[in-house]
Amino acid sequence: MTQSNPYQIRTDVLSMAKQMLDKAYDTQLEVAKTMMEQSKSNSELALEAWERYIPKMYTPEELKKQAEKLYEFVSHNK
């Protein structure tokens, strides 16, 4: 088993954090599409559903915060 250096670990953790946030975004986007589809007979309700459920894309700061949470686990659980 080869050990990863700190840079590789950070890169892996950042990648995991991005995957987690991407998955959460995709899931929320599917909810928005479903809610809009269910309201398609009423355009006003469809627009309201879209505005209510459409996810905001995460920011770099949110990505960094998620990665820090994951990295904390790695650094404190040796």
User: The tokens of 9 are what?
Assistant: 């670990």
The predicted model gives 6-31 an average pLDDT of 93
Mean pLDDT across the chain: 87
Question: What pLDDT, on a 0 to 100 scale, did the predictor assign at position 48?
Answer: 83
CB 46 within 8 A of CB 68: no
pLDDT of 19-42, one tens digit each?
999 999 999 999 988 888 888 788
> 55: closest CA among 35, 72, 73, 77?
35
pTM to 2 decimal places: 0.76
The predicted model gives 64-68 an average pLDDT of 93
Question: What pLDDT, on a 0 to 100 scale, did the predictor assign at position 57?
Answer: 93
The CA-atom distances, in angstroms, between 13 and each of 21, 30, 40, 43, 47 are 12, 26, 40, 42, 37
Percent of residues, the chain, with pLDDT higher than 70: 96
Domains of the chain, residue spans:
27-78
Please report, in angstroms and rounded to a whole number, the separation of the first and last CA atoms in the chain. Answer: 16
